[in-house]
Structure 1
């Protein structure tokens, strides 16, 4: 699913946001990516979706070397990945339905099919009754659930979440993580970046810890990654 081989990323000479990162994520896993602010969590996620290219090393996603994917093929890669952000990134002038199905519409999916898929994912997150609401008419927890619905409406093989509960109270945060677990049980690989240690301990999943851009600890099976 995801393979990092001795990956380095830097934004200025000799200052590395990530340094010699190697790990493997297998299909169907649920993994927490953790570490303090500035540890490199967001950078790592950006590399997976080819928002950035590493300075050194190799990253495979679905068997493809993301660094060598032509620019014209990047949208295709991203359609197989759902992404949930801390600040929701909903379009305020569009309804819940329009936000959830925005990508489907750009892909040319007809209205009947968009309605079917939107109903299914909104029912899954408990918001099928708020299809015609606008983001500012929703609570923070509801907005994040809309963002989750949008991320999974295209049935992605991989779901990435960057501090998805950072703006939520503990009860709403728990609801979001329960949703991720439900999505994972359906077969989607889930990678959640968070610094919420209580949440990590409660859910007891595999944990990859970063510290100052280095892989500090991986609670999963110790896999030897060969030199490339």
Structure 2
């Protein structure tokens, strides 16, 4: 599903975000990326989302070679991805329904299907009753669940989440991770960047550790089993 081979990302002569990073992720895996601030977690996710390109090496995902991908193919890649950000990135002037349906509207999905799929995504995160509300009328945890619904509305092959629980209290963080685990159980590959070690320990998933842009460790899930 995802393969990184000797990937490096250097912003200038001084700042190296990633150096010689190589690993593979199978379809259906749940993987944590961890490490201190500045370790390269967010940069790695940006490379996977093709927001940035590597300075060296190659990334392959779902049949795409990301380093050499033409600009016109990026939308095709992103149709296969769902992305959840720490700061939610919801549009305040639009309702919850409109925020989640936005992706489908851009893709040219019919209004009837937009309604059906958006309601299904909101129901998955327990917020179908909030579809007419606006982001600022919701709590932080609810806003994060809306962001997750938006990431899932297009049935992505891969879900990328960058510090998705960083602004939440421990109980809400656990609730969000339980939701990710349920999504993963339906076949979606899930990659979560976090520095929350207690959360990682509770989840018992594969963990890839980064330190100064390099792989510090790659610890398999305790069962050493991968559901595909």
TM-score by length of 1: 0.95
Indicate conservation of the 8 Å contact 2:206/2:219, yes or no: yes
Alpha carbons 2:41, 2:193 under 8 Å: kept: yes
Structure 1 CA distance, aligned partners of 2:147 and 2:80? 16
- Structure-1 separation of matches of 2:114 and 2:75: 19
Map 1:65-214; keep pairs closer than 5 Å: 65-214=65-214
Aligned to 2:41: 41
Shift of 1:220: 2.7
Write out per-residue CA displacement over residues 1-35 of structure 1, whole angstroms, 9 at most, x where no aligned residue: 11000011101115311011000000000000000
The runs of 5 or more residues in structure 2 that have no matched partner are 222-228
Q: How many residues of Structure 1 are paired with residues of Structure 2 in the alignment?
A: 221
Please, which moves more after superposition, 58-67 or 31-40? Answer: 58-67
Structure 1 position 196, deviation (Å): 0.4
4+ long deviations beyond 2 Å: none
- The SS at the match of 1:67 is coil
Give the drift of 1:111. Answer: 1.3
Residue number in structure 2 paired with 1:224: none
Indicate the SS of the match to 1:207.
strand
**Cα distance, 1:69 vs. partner?**
1.2
Whole-Å separation in 2 of the counterparts to 1:35 and 1:161: 15
1:109-128 Cα distance to aligned partner (Å, 9 max, x none): 11111111011111110001
Q: Does the 8 A contact of 2:122 with 2:128 survive in 1?
A: yes
CA distance in 2, matches of 1:9, 1:183: 30
Q: Which residue of 2 aligns with 1:226?
A: none
1:27 maps to 27
143-152 vs 72-81, which deviates more? 72-81
Q: Residues of 1 paired with 2:118 and 2:54: CA distance?
A: 35
